[in-house]
């Protein structure tokens, strides 16, 4: 996954936030071997400065638009058909060798990337109303998702990374369902988001 390679260093921790109840730690199978559980995410795992962004379950697109006074744009860095990573296929409950549409973008504020996003859209999801997801171009996926009455969002998974400057940054991902058809959206928050905290 290109958006992860740009971070360059390994994942330090990964855990899952279960909606409406406690928090159960789940490791990404290829990246972490230990398993832990949390009733809430401790500050030692996710510092206070990041929590307001990473744990927010509202529309990230709308929030970036609001913060920037409209100086927001989506920059598509890659759009292609490929087999998802094994843990992504498992999360989506699709066959490991099934192709999916992979969309990688930078969410830019004032021309600077604040978030990198990686979306995996199974071929079976691209039917009916959701067929238009293939043709978003530089339109934000988040705007499409949060405008749909058919959208349901599942548990958040969080990860912590070090970037090229050895700064800590955080990522999250979750499965969205549109008319019960899944897609997986991963978002990596860069240190620039703290400017708005």
What's the token pair of residue 26? 């789940």
Q: Where residue 97 sits, what CATH number does that domain have?
A: 3.40.1410.10
- 122-158 in b/e burial notation, b at 16+ Cβ within 10 A? beebbeeebeebeebeeebbbebbbeeeeeeeebbbb
Instruction: Give ∠ CA 31-176-116 in degrees, rounded to 5.
Output: 55
Q: 134 versus 170: which is more confidently predicted?
A: 134
* Sign for the pseudo-dihedral over CA of 138, 142, 147, 150: positive
Mean per-residue pLDDT, 125-136: 95
Given a cut of 70, whether residue 138 has pLDDT beyond it is yes
Q: 158 versus 191: which is more confidently predicted?
A: 191
The domain in which residue 59 lies consists of 2-196
Residue 193's pLDDT is 92
pTM, two decimals, is: 0.81
Given a cut of 70, whether residue 143 has pLDDT beyond it is yes
pLDDT in tens, 148-183: 999 999 988 888 777 778 888 888 898 999 999 999
Domains in the chain, number: 1
pLDDT in tens, 48-98: 889 999 989 899 999 999 999 999 999 999 999 999 988 899 899 999 999
């Amino acid at each position: 996954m290109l958006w992860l390679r740009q971070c360059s260093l390994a994942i330090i921790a990964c855990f899952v936030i279960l909606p409406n109840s406690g928090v159960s730690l789940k490791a990404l199978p290829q990246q972490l071997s230990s398993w832990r559980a949390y009733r809430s995410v401790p500050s030692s795992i996710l510092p206070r400065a990041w929590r307001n962004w990473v744990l927010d379950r509202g529309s990230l697109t709308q929030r970036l638009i609001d913060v920037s006074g409209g100086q927001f744009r989506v920059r598509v860095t890659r759009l292609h058909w490929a087999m998802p990573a094994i843990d992504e296929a498992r999360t989506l409950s699709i066959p490991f060798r099934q192709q999916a549409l992979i969309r990688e973008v930078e969410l830019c504020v004032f021309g600077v990337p604040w978030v990198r996003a990686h979306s995996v859209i199974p071929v079976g999801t691209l039917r009916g109303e959701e067929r238009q997801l293939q043709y978003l171009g530089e339109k934000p996926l988040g705007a499409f998702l949060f405008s749909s009455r058919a959208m349901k969002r599942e548990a958040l998974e969080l990860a912590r990374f070090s970037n090229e400057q050895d700064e800590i940054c955080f990522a999250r991902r979750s499965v969205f369902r549109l008319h019960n058809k899944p897609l997986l959206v991963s978002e990596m928050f860069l240190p620039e988001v703290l400017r708005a905290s």
